[in-house]
């Protein structure tokens, strides 16, 4: 995303109301389409949320955590402090944001000095200048689990309208994040298919080389490659690539295969 697009997005969201209209949805969808990947989208989203909720007297840091099936955890934040706070909470294995993620409910800590639910973690965040925390889960309809983590320098840093705004932003962000994840899934599937086709082409070429060298049939040649793969503890496609490289002169290793 270029600077002009980023500025336009932030300006579009700057006046976000507790119940945003369809323009928010369109803006977040544009954010998805302008992002390189899911990580880039999450970083932009965290930056937008931070800008929306920050004021001259109240600096808000935003981080976002997403847990995807088979793809692990994706995290992003509006600044380095957000990353540090999330890493600390993950180290403790508990806290307001992880609780919101696990239970799917909004967690608000108005004053980190007086909250007794996660005393060790609260002591650490106070050292980082955090006065209050708001954690808002994103409804992902079973596609993943996600939470928006908001940290304020001030105690009671999130008013009722602020919380409503954060919930509205999380609602719109969840839809756009689902779109981003689906696009990423399609991209991964395309890349996997491309890799599989390239691997198949490499193996087929190597089989042809072995057939020519050993004057054998396709099944016998494939068996030769499979045995070499097992004996050398290498993937079949890597053995095939070595066969091709030895014939093309790209390597000094000349492989001899016999039935």
Domain boundaries, the chain: 3-188, 190-248
226 is written with which tokens?
A: 């499979």
Please give the pLDDT value at position 123: 92
Helix residue ranges per DSSP H, the chain: 3-13, 22-34, 38-53, 80-92, 96-103, 119-127, 160-214, 218-232, 236-248
Specify the CATH architecture of the domain 190-248.
Orthogonal Bundle (1.10)
Q: Identify any residues that bridge with 145 across adjacent strands, giving them in sequence order.
A: 67
**Coil, strand, or helix at residue 63?**
strand
- Asked whether residue 16 carries a pLDDT value surpassing 60, the answer given is no
pLDDT in tens, 194-253: 555 666 777 778 888 888 887 888 888 888 888 888 888 888 888 888 888 877 655 543
- Asked whether residue 2 carries a pLDDT value surpassing 90, the answer given is no
Instruction: Domain 3-188: state its class.
Output: alpha beta
pTM greater than the 0.85 cutoff:
no
Average per-residue pLDDT for the chain: 77
- Asked whether residue 165 carries a pLDDT value surpassing 60, the answer given is yes
116 is written with which tokens?
A: 């007794």
Closest CA to 168 of 15, 1, 7: 15
180 is written with which tokens?
A: 């981003």
């Amino acid at each position: 995303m270029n600077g002009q697009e980023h500025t336009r997005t932030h300006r579009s969201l700057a006046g976000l109301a507790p119940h945003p209209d369809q323009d928010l949805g369109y803006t977040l969808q544009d954010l998805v389409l302008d992002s390189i990947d899911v990580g880039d989208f999450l970083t932009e989203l965290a930056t937008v949320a931070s800008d929306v909720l920050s004021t001259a007297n109240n600096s808000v840091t935003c981080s976002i955590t997403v847990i995807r099936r088979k793809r692990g955890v994706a995290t992003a934040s509006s600044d380095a402090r957000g990353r540090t706070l999330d890493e600390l909470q993950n180290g403790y294995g508990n806290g307001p944001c992880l609780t919101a993620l696990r239970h799917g409910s909004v967690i608000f800590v108005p004053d980190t000095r007086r909250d007794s639910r996660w005393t060790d973690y609260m002591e650490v965040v106070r050292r980082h200048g955090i006065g209050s925390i708001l954690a808002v889960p994103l409804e992902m309809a079973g596609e993943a689990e996600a939470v928006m983590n908001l940290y304020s320098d001030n105690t009671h840093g999130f008013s009722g309208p602020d919380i409503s705004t954060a919930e509205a932003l999380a609602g719109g962000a969840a839809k756009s994040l689902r779109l981003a994840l689906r696009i990423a899934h399609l991209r991964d599937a395309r890349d996997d298919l491309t890799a599989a086709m390239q691997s198949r082409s490499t193996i087929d070429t190597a089989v042809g080389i072995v057939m020519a060298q050993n004057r054998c049939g396709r099944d016998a040649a494939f068996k030769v490659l499979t045995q070499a793969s097992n004996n050398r503890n290498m993937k079949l496609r890597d053995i095939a690539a070595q066969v091709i490289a030895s014939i093309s002169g790209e390597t000094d290793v000349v492989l001899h295969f016999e039935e």
